[in-house]
Chains A and B, each alone.
Chain A
Amino acid sequence: MNSDRWFGAVFLVFSLVLFWSNETLDTPAFDLLGSKFLPRVASLAMIFLSILLLVLGKGSVPKAKEKGRITYRPAIFFVILTAAYFLALEFGLGYRGSTTIYLTLFVFMLSDYRLRALPISLATAVVSTHAFYYFFEKFLQLLLP
């Protein structure tokens, strides 16, 4: 199955869930169309288009893949690292602590995990985290996570 058909299948499941969610919604009859009308139209249209993609999809090759030099490892590491960072923020580990660790690891990853780069990664993380903290929280008085 090519990529377009995979996407067709994912969009189909997504739009069926939306359609079901919309149909089970109990809404007040305030105006002629109500709040269910446009979501119904949109989810039905998405169901139709997903089926079209599922049937006619020719597949798309990611641009970098065509050039034959792609590794998804940094992207996967980034997603895992970022999820861990957001969990740390969610569970109240504090902005400065978790951001410093996150940025250190991120810079370290982009430096091809060279141990020599670790002190620079840490220094960059500490300086930038504190610069952001003082600029946004103290100067602009914005709340940070």
Chain B
Amino acid sequence: MEYFLTAALIVSHPMNLLSIFVGTFFGLVFGAIPGLTATMGVALLIPFTFKMDPITGICLLIGIFIGGISGGLISATLLRMPGTPSSVATCFDGYPMAQKGQAGQALGIGIVSSFLAGLSTAVGLALLSPPIARLALHLGYFEYFSLGLFALTIVVTLSKGGMVKGILCAFLGLVISMFGTAPIDNAARFTFGWDEMKAGFSLLPVLIGLFAVSQIITELLKSEKIMIPQIGRQRILPPLSLFRDEWRNLIRSTFIGFFIGILPGIGGATGNIVAYAQAKSASKTPEKFGTGHPGGIVASESANNATTGGALIPLVTLGIPGDAVTAILIGGLMIHGIQPGPMLFKSNPDVVYSIFVATFISNIMMVLLMLGAIRVFIFLLKIPKTYLLPLIMALCVIGAFAMNNRMFDIWTLFLFGIIGFVLERFQFPLTPVLLGIVLEPIIEINLREGLMASQGDFFPIFTQPISLLFILLAVLSVLVPLVWRREKSG
């Protein structure tokens, strides 16, 4: 409790509140405009935090994260174009409602559902993280190695485009992270006699390249003209009676989103679809889903916002990302010298509890901004790509260079922009690449140090119960989808 009060005092500093406000606003903008995503927003705005106090920087990044996931609702409802992958299911009922002249009500239902779910999971994050971190303190080298392996396999098996492509992408991420100086003995790997390569690929240019530059190239290929329905003076706040009918749906979807968020590597993109499917199957009128049923929006929006709190749990307690955005958040924290994981609760409790408080406040700011300034965000949808894309590219260059001030990073940005575009174009998933990059040091360092500690004995990987549990879960997460697919095709 003492830590909470301290964190509340820290976060309530005007500079930190302003930081959350600005972050949430830009997150909503990135989430709302199709083609810009929360992942891109966090990657692009990390350089803005370089000169900030770490907690102010974290407040900004948390704001973008929460805002980015929430903003997808606007374009999903008005344009049937999910601003983020987390809002795909919102299109199913949001857009038909907008077509019936109920755009304001659809947006209101989405905003309130997002807020209630986001706030509940912020509380869940604060309640569950400390005991998980206490447990995680007992994890040794082999447990961390197995956990890293499990996180990687679960991402691979749930990624789109087939398992072979998913595994290949995960290994691609692992080898990208191996370029440069190795841990422990400082051997220079994959440098091809090139001095610049000894430092390897910096995380930030790789992330901006994969998720922002590749997206810019993708957007260049599209030529859709945007027609935005008017919401006029429609009432935004939904009637209370609606939530009397949908409270079960809201709670169920929040739980689904929260627990999917906790699973490493899976985020809102999966959570909103699963919650929507569950809401539809539990409904007395499933035939109305997809035709403008408020329950569809409640399910999708509460689930995707619930994943934000869930995804932050493995990040703060284990140092393992819950999804693509939190993988970039880890990069952002490390740039500020903060290593997420259980030790953070001991070494920097102010930082951990500030994350909890910032998540809570950001959800409040999100609902206030969305309800108060929804017309501003709708107006921003009209910004032509002609001006938006070049400005984002200019920001990408600044972001890639700012960390180490070397031209090599600019070329890294360019290379990974093209790689990301080509991979995604041909349905090779990018999330396993990202997770591979982030998890490689965890897997390699813990395996090697574990073997040094056990004097070369591999058996503890299989004899220590928690390590064995993660290894079994990793094996199951590969085998179960294979069996399901075989049964489906058989």
B44 at the A/B interface (Cβ < 8 Å)?
no
Do B394 and A143 touch across chains, with their CB atoms under 8 A apart?
A: no
Interchain nearest-CB distance for B164 vs A (Å): 5
Q: Are B402 and A25 neighbours in the complex by a CB distance under 8 Å?
A: no
Q: Is there contact, CB below 8 Å, between A60 and B426?
A: yes
Tell me, yes or no, whether B95 is within 8 Å of chain A by CB: no
Task: Kindly identify, within residues 40 to 55 of chain B, every residue whose CB is under 8 Å from any CB belonging to chain A.
Answer: 47-48, 50-51
Q: How far is the CB of B209 from chain A (nearest CB, A)?
A: 11
Residues from chain A with a CB closer than 8 A to the CB of B394 are 99, 102-103, 128-129, 132
Q: Compute how far the CA of A125 lies from the CA of B171 in the bound complex, rounded to whole angstroms.
A: 40
A115 at the interface (CB under 8 A from B): no
Q: How many residues on chain A are close to B (CB under 8 Å)?
A: 64
Beyond A3-B426, A140-B50, whether A25 also contacts B189 by CB under 8 A is yes
Q: Give the CA-CA distance A114 to B232 in the complex, in Å.
A: 35
Known: A42-B175, A53-B164, A103-B394. A18 touches B402 (CB 8 A): no
Interface members, chain A 72-91 (any B CB < 8 Å) = 72, 74-75, 78-79, 82-83, 86, 89-90
Contact flags B335-379 to A (C-beta < 8 A → 1, else 0): 000000000000000000000000000000000000000000000
CB contacts (< 8 Å) of A106 on chain B: these are 389-390, 393
Which of A7, A18, A49, A79 has the largest count of B CB atoms less than 10 A from its CB? Answer: A49
Q: A21-B192, A22-B189, A110-B390 are in contact. Are A90 and B407 (CB under 8 A)?
A: yes
Given contacts A110-B389, A132-B398, A145-B397, contact A38 B444 (CB under 8 A): yes
Q: Which of B62-70, B213-221, B244-252 contacts A (4 or more CB under 8 A)?
A: B213-221
A18 to B391, CA, bound (A): 36
- The chain A residue with its CB closest to the CB of B404 is A143
Q: What are the residues of chain B within 8 A of A102 when measuring CB–CB?
A: 390, 394
In the docked arrangement, what's the CA distance between A69 and B356, Å?
46
A18 touches B190 (CB 8 A): yes
Write out the residue numbers on chain B whose beta carbons fall within 8 Å of the beta carbon of A90: 407, 410
**Which residue of the partner chain A has the closest CB to B51?**
A140
Report whether B220 and A35 are in contact in the complex, using a CB–CB cutoff of 8 Å.
no
Residue of B175, B178, B192 ringed by the most chain A CB atoms within 10 A: B175
- Residue-wise, chain A 1-29 has the 8 Å CB interface mask toward B (1 for contact) of 00110010001000000100110010110
Contact partner of B189 among A4, A11, A30, A35, CB < 8 A?
A35
Q: Please give, as numbers and ranges, the residues of chain B lying within 8 Å of A28 by CB-CB distance.
A: 185, 187
**Which residue on A lies nearest to B213, using beta carbons?**
A82
Interface assignment of B222: CB less than 8 Å from any CB of chain A: yes
| Bound complex: CA A118 to CA B289 (Å) | 48
Which residues of the other chain, B, contact A79 by a CB distance below 8 angstroms? 217, 418
- A-side interface residues toward B, CB under 8 Å? 3-4, 7, 11, 18, 21-22, 25, 27-28, 30-36, 38-39, 42-43, 45-46, 49-50, 52-53, 56, 60, 62-64, 69-72, 74-75, 78-79, 82-83, 86, 89-90, 99, 102-103, 106-107, 110-111, 124-125, 128-129, 132, 136, 140-145
Known A18-B190, A49-B168, A145-B410; 17 more pairs at CB < 8 Å? A11-B172, A21-B190, A30-B184, A35-B189, A53-B164, A53-B165, A56-B164, A60-B426, A60-B427, A78-B217, A78-B220, A82-B393, A89-B410, A136-B47, A141-B51, A142-B398, A143-B401
